[in-house]
Amino acid sequence: KSESAKIKAYILGLSDSIKGEVTSSRPANLKEAVCMAYKLMEQKSQARDEKILEGKKRKWEQ
């Protein structure tokens, strides 16, 4: 498989929430696509964790 075919196959397997962002970044190789996806997943995970903590703080304060 060519590098672009590998990138397309990798992006197809990503969740919809980050697929567009990785595609629009136009990664030059598979490593760039994987790194970009990893960073985006980390950011989304961190944002989700912060929302959960905020919800727990609010419940505690009530």
pLDDT in tens, 8-38: 999 999 999 899 999 999 999 999 999 999 9
Is the pLDDT reported for residue 56 higher than 90? no
Question: What number is the average pLDDT over the span 39-51?
Answer: 91
Task: Show me where the domains of the chain are located.
Answer: 3-61
Is the pLDDT reported for residue 60 higher than 70? no
Across the chain, mean pLDDT equals 88
Query: Taking a C-beta distance cutoff of 8 angstroms, is the pair 22, 11 a contact?
Result: yes
User: Could you write out the DSSP letters of every residue in 1-62?
Assistant: --HHHHHHHHHHTS-HHHHHHHHHT--SSHHHHHHHHHHHHHHHHHHHHHHHHHHHHHHHH-
Q: State the pLDDT at residue 59.
A: 59
